[in-house]
Amino acid sequence: MFSTPFVLSFALLLSLPLLFLLAPHFLPPNTTQLPIPAADEVSDQALFSRAVRSKSSFTRFSLDSKTKPKIAFLFLTNSDLHFAPLWQRFFSKTAPNLYNIYVHSDPSINVTIPPGVFHDRFIASRRTYRASPTLISATRRLLATAVLDDPANTFFAVLSQHCVPLHSFRYVYRSLFASPTFDRTRPPSDSDAELTRMGVNAPYKSFIEILSKSTNLWKRYAARGRFTMMPEVPFDKFRVGSQFFLLTRHHALVVLKDRQLWKKFRLPCYREDECYPEEHYFPTLLSMADPDGCTHYTLTRVNWTGTTNGHPYTYRPGELSAKLIYQLRQSNYSESYLFARKFSPDCLKPLLGLSEKVIFRD
């Protein structure tokens, strides 16, 4: 017979490795990662449910019909909209019935609201933090507000205050709604040709980057604990991609309907430097829900060469030239990138200087 103390210490010894294995489940999350307040969750869910219930989901539009499909431009910002004057020029050349603008601005920041098209376009917002699920919530708030606001909103483009247009509005609009050749990854088919003759680019796809291979993917997956994402998100379903994407209305509703994945992605991470949930939630959800409905690439150019601390390269005024704009447009997947980031705020003047002769000439 074994003595009780012996059994006890033996059991303790056995459980030690187990403790190490499960340790992340018991450690308190990194204090830089705050959970989302319950009251915010409740009001968000009410908003998202209203948007999902709203009847008004056109997936195809004829450009000849009276109601034209619109692009909803969703600006997610935690500072002034540095490039508002450039965006105003972008919008000024077009009929107002082809677009809507919505701005989610961190309420802790005093934003100087630019006059013109951005006026009155600020939606009910909450605080956002870098590398935290608050950025997912803010994006969903923008999507829900835009879905509810106008049934003609057909594409939803997420942008930040550091994003600039690389083309005219006309080019952007035609690329998305009418061009049968814009997306180079989709082989043309007969039925497409027929729809194109009718002025319809269908079926619309979401332009969202979805990558299954990336360094650090496992670390990012395990950032909330090794088994925390299970069973909703097995590692082989976990994806990464830019949070600057362009969704169809159908996919905006898929995102607003979701509760299962959000339940996991809203959890705080143990390490802030391996987190970035906004780069995983949308690509993972849409690649699980409708992989064929997504292009798997983004239309927002970004330069990750020489990345520091998770920030992409930021262009400075001295680098701006017509050549750079042409270079930034070049894409391996579509006829052109439509937007680009990041630019320092003092790039506004040189960008305005390039706008008429280069950016909006296409």
Ligand X SMILES: *[C@@H]1O[C@H](CO)[C@@H](O)[C@H](O)[C@H]1NC(C)=O
Nearer to ligand X, 200 or 347 (CB): 347
Nearer to ligand X, 40 or 273 (CB): 273
Q: How far apart are CA 269 and CA 275, in angstroms?
A: 6
C-alpha pair distances (Å), 55 with each of 51, 58, 323, 358: 9, 9, 46, 41
Nearer to ligand X, 155 or 315 (CB): 315
Closest residue to ligand X, Cβ-based? Answer: 306
Among 59, 108, 189, 191, binds ligand X (CB under 6 A): 108
Among 271, 289, 317, 348, binds ligand X (CB under 6 A): 271
- Minimum CB separation from ligand X for residue 331, in Å? 6
Among 87, 171, 270, 339, binds ligand X (CB under 6 A): 270
User: Site residues for ligand X, window 291-350 (CB under 6 A)?
Assistant: 303, 305-306, 313, 327, 330-332
C-alpha pair distances (Å), 100 with each of 113, 199, 314: 17, 22, 28
Q: How far apart are CA 82 and CA 79, in angstroms?
A: 8
- Minimum CB separation from ligand X for residue 357, in Å? 20
Query: Strand order of the sheet with strand 206-209?
Result: 99-105, 70-77, 153-160, 246-248, 206-209, 294-296
Nearer to ligand X, 170 or 311 (CB): 311
Residue of 231, 51, 48 lying closest to 136 (CA atoms) = 48
- Minimum CB separation from ligand X for residue 275, in Å? 8
Each residue 193-232 as x (binds ligand X by CB under 6 A) or -, in order, gives ----------------------------------------
Q: Does 112 bind ligand X (CB under 6 A)?
A: no
**DSSP secondary structure letter of residue 140:** H
Q: How far apart are CA 51 and CA 244, in angstroms?
A: 21
- Minimum CB separation from ligand X for residue 345, in Å? 17
Residue 135, both tokens: 């950025």
DSSP result, 226-289? TTTTTTTS-GGG--B--S--EEEHHHHHHHHH--HHHHHHTSPPS-GGG--GGGTHHHHHHHHH
Nearer to ligand X, 3 or 332 (CB): 332
84 by Cβ neighbours in 10 Å (0-12 / 13-18 / 19+) ranks as buried
- Minimum CB separation from ligand X for residue 215, in Å? 17
The site for ligand X, by CB under 6 A, has a size of 16
Q: How far apart are CA 74 and CA 246, in angstroms?
A: 10
User: Nearest 5°: phi and psi at 299?
Assistant: -100, 5
* Other Cβ atoms within 10 Å of 121 Cβ, number: 15
Nearer to ligand X, 327 or 344 (CB): 327
User: Site residues for ligand X, window 143-182 (CB under 6 A)?
Assistant: none
Nearer to ligand X, 168 or 334 (CB): 334
- Minimum CB separation from ligand X for residue 276, in Å? 11
Nearer to ligand X, 100 or 334 (CB): 334
Strand 246-248 versus strand 164-165 pairing type = unpaired
Q: Widest CA span of the chain, in angstroms?
A: 91
**With CB under 6 A as the contact rule, which of the stretches 72-80, 84-92, 270-278, 347-355 interacts with ligand X?**
270-278
Each residue 16-35 as x (binds ligand X by CB under 6 A) or -, in order, gives --------------x-x---
Q: Residues in the site for ligand X, rule: CB under 6 A? A: 30, 32, 108, 110, 270-273, 303, 305-306, 313, 327, 330-332
